[in-house]
Amino acid sequence: MAIDDLYQEILMDHYKNPRNKGKLHDADLEVHAKNPFCGDEVELDIIWDGGRIKDIHFVGQGCVISQASVSLLTEHVKGKTLEEIEEVIQEFSAMIRGELEKIDEDKLDELCALQGVSKFPTRIKCALLAWNTLKKVVQERKAELEGKGKVG
Amino acid sequence: MEIVEKMTLNVDRIRKDFPIFDYPDNNNLTYLDNAATTQRPTQVLEEISRYYREYNANTHRGAYRNAEKATLAYEDAREKIARLINARSSREIIFVRGATEAINTAARGWGDRFVRPDDEILITEMEHHSNIVPWQMLVKRRNARLCYWAFDERNGMLEPDGLRIMLSSSTRLLALTHVSNALGTINPVKEIIHAAHARKITVLVDAAQSIPHMPVDVQDLDADMLVFSGHKLYGPTGIGVFYAKEEILNAMDPVQFGGDMIEHVDYFESTWNDLPWKFEGGTPNIAGGIGLGAAVDYVNQIGMEIISGHEKQLVQYALEKLSGVEGVRVYGPMDPDQHGSAVSFTLDRVHPHDLATWLDQHNIAIRSGHHCAQPVMRKLGVPATARISFGVYNTIQEIDRFIIALEQAKEYFSKWL
Ligand SMILES: Cc1ncc(COP(=O)(O)O)c(C=O)c1O
């Protein structure tokens, strides 16, 4: 349980130079995620392209883990379909909770840098903050599109 | 000579009373999160265990020896608490789950009864959520208003003029903390209560962070209501105290209805038991009450003045040392006479949560976050702070250890940030 398992260089880099940070002014959706435990907050701004995320940005401040995690999230889901995103969220969440027997490095790629979190249970919430919110967003978007499909 | 000996604390001996420090997994634990909860000494653990092992029975019910013994032990604990805070009588001591339940009891039992539309409830900007949210809900129910007495973010002190400005002819209640858990500020509650009483305003004191660290005398303060939690006073979780003057308790409505709190139950109407049981519906936390009584004994045996003096030394030392670390910003008053046993700070560019994880790797337990005081964080302009807080068993050496680790954390993170 060395501290370096947690604070990997990639995470520090994302913390220092966050990707896709700053408001998207023409966003279709703006959602807020709060960690009631530590007060950290992130906002996700999303532009849809049908069943895809065309663009996603975040705004927020917080610890290395929460900020690096959301920065990585934006990189990983941009351009992906709802189904692909759901799959990544599931795989990622399982890794963070330490539920994966084997980590699929092809699937998770740079996100693997957060695997150390599973050994620091007090930090799981930080790592999953934005992901849990995105999960709800994706579910709602799917329901919305299905609803439209039925009506149309 | 004897006086000198009495005044200093033998911390080595005290630490032996706390089994947590001997537990192998906690090897060399530096516990600096006493504002969240303290550790419990063997004396408390054994008293709880003795109740369950030797005379376990429900209170106020059975007509057999153990029931009588359990009732006596529970009521004896109430007496001890009454003496600790110098209540006029143990009838004024209501056992609840903790400070939170006590404030909720006041908001329901007193607030719903006495707060009228357009009345004002005045609280301060440095309250714990438990002394904010029950009042938010009360003013919604009663169509009343909630007002805030501001503090100065530069020194963590309540605005000196605040009371005069904020008190109005509509103010019904002032609810404020004795010691802030987020800033460490000790508020001059005695003077404040005096000023509020001059205008016939009822005052509730949140003593969660003062009772464990300094002598508190409800008659001297003239507090109308006062609340605290047992688990911050070396006692068990799930037990705390709602104190109120007898005339207030008599006028209040109970908020928990059921067994024990009644005098007589008819098909459609009931009458209430005497104080304090009127407020204690259902089987109480008997072991908790007994355990809290043992914690009071423990603290008395050391002496609250001595504990207070010891912790003041720690606070003074911590304030000095922390201010000496470049990049550290300390919040709250810098004068140890105005600063309770919790010290909040931030370290430049390192989030408190990352710092806490880092220190945990060195077996140093500190708190990071908003400390259930989000309005304070908003005012300070930070999402969170780190906080160290002391108890009777902490030492200067532990603060040194903490400061060294803090310097190392700074170095570690500054490699990247
Ligand atoms: C100032 C203050 N008030 C109230 C509380 C609430 O205490 P409890 O959670 O034990 O009810 C706390 C605990 O953190 C506190 O620090």
DSSP string across B333-398:
-SSGGGB-SEEEEEETTB-HHHHHHHHHTTTEE-EEE-TT-HHHHHHHT-S-EEEEE--TT--HHH
> What average pLDDT does range B391-405 have in this prediction?
98
Tens of pLDDT, residue by residue over B105-138, are 999 999 999 999 999 999 999 999 999 999 999 9
Confidence of residue B391 (pLDDT cuts 50, 70, 90): very high
Q: Give per-residue burial for A88-126: e unless 16+ CB within 10 Å, then b.
A: bbebbbebbeeebeeeeeeebeebbbbbbbbebeebbbb
Give pLDDT, residue B3: 46
Q: Please give the structure tokens belonging to residue B288.
A: 């908790």
Q: Is the pLDDT of residue B215 over 80?
A: yes
Closest CA to B390 of B354, B338, B353, B344: B344
Residue A3's pLDDT is 86
Q: Is B417 on the interface with A (CB under 8 A)?
A: yes
- In which region does residue B23 sit, left (phi positive, over 0), alpha (psi from -120 to 50) or beta (all else)? beta
Q: Which residues of B touch A39 (CB under 8 A)?
A: 369-370, 374, 377, 383-384
How confident is the model over B218-236, as a mean pLDDT?
98
User: In the block, which residue shows the tokens 């790592």?
Assistant: A127
In CATH, what number does A3-140 get? 3.90.1010.10
Instruction: Using the predicted structure, report yes or no on whether residue B342 has a pLDDT greater than 80.
Output: yes
Q: How confident is the model at residue B1 (pLDDT cuts 50, 70, 90)?
A: very low
Q: How far is CA A91 from the centre of its chain?
A: 12
In whole angstroms, what is the distance from residue B170 CA to residue B121 CA?
A: 9
Q: How confident is the model at residue A17 (pLDDT cuts 50, 70, 90)?
A: very high
The 3-state DSSP class for residue B120 equals: strand
Give the pTM. Answer: 0.93
Q: If we measure between CA atoms, which residue out of B241, B184, B196 comes closest to residue B221?
A: B196
**What pLDDT is attached to residue A150?**
54
- Crossing angle, helix B352-360 and helix B396-414, to 10 degrees? 120
- Which range among A49-53, A86-90, A145-149, B368-372 shows the weakest confidence by mean pLDDT? A145-149
Nearest Cα residue to B157 out of B322, B328, B340, B33: B340
Mark residue B331 as left, alpha or beta (left: phi above 0; alpha: psi -120 to 50; beta: remaining): beta
> What pLDDT is attached to residue B2?
45
Stretch B338-358: mean pLDDT: 96
The token duo for B237 is 């979780």
pLDDT band at B8 (very low <50, low <70, confident <90, very high): confident
B295 is written with which tokens?
Answer: 């914690």
Contacts of A18 (CB under 8 A, 6+ apart): A58, A67, A68, A70, A71
Enumerate residues 6+ apart whose C-beta is below 8 A from B21: B15, B29, B31, B39, B393
pLDDT at A149: 67
Phi/psi at B250 (nearest 5 deg)? -65, -35
B35: amino acid identity, one letter: A
Which pLDDT score, from 0 to 100, does residue A152 have? 41
Q: Tens of pLDDT along B289-339?
A: 999 999 999 999 999 999 999 999 999 999 999 999 999 999 999 999 999
CA separation for the pair B173, B184 (Å, rounded): 23
What's the average model confidence in pLDDT over B164-172?
Answer: 91
Q: Which of residues 19-58 of A touch B (CB under 8 A)?
A: 37-41
Size of interface A-B (CB pairs under 8 A): 55
Segment B243-256 mean pLDDT: 97
Average pLDDT over residues B395-417: 94
User: What is the set of domains in chain B, with CATH numbers?
Assistant: 2-37+304-411 (3.90.1150.10), 46-301 (3.40.640.10)
For residues A2-9, average pLDDT: 89
Burial class (CB in 10 A: 0-12, 13-18, 19+), A150: exposed
Percent of chain B exceeding pLDDT 90 equals 92
Global ipTM: 0.86
Q: Atom 14 of ligand 1 has which residue's CA nearest to it?
A: B36
DSSP 8-state secondary structure symbol assigned to residue B21: G
Q: What is the per-residue pLDDT across B258-269, written as a single tens digit (0 to 9) for each?
A: 988 999 999 999
Q: What is the mean pLDDT of residues B224-253?
A: 98
Say which of B361, B384, B416 has its CB closest to residue A12: B416
Q: Which of residues 219-278 of B touch A (CB under 8 A)?
A: none
pLDDT of residue B5: 46
Nearest residue, CB atoms, A63 vs list B351, B361, B374: B351
CB B279, CB B254: distance < 8 Å: yes
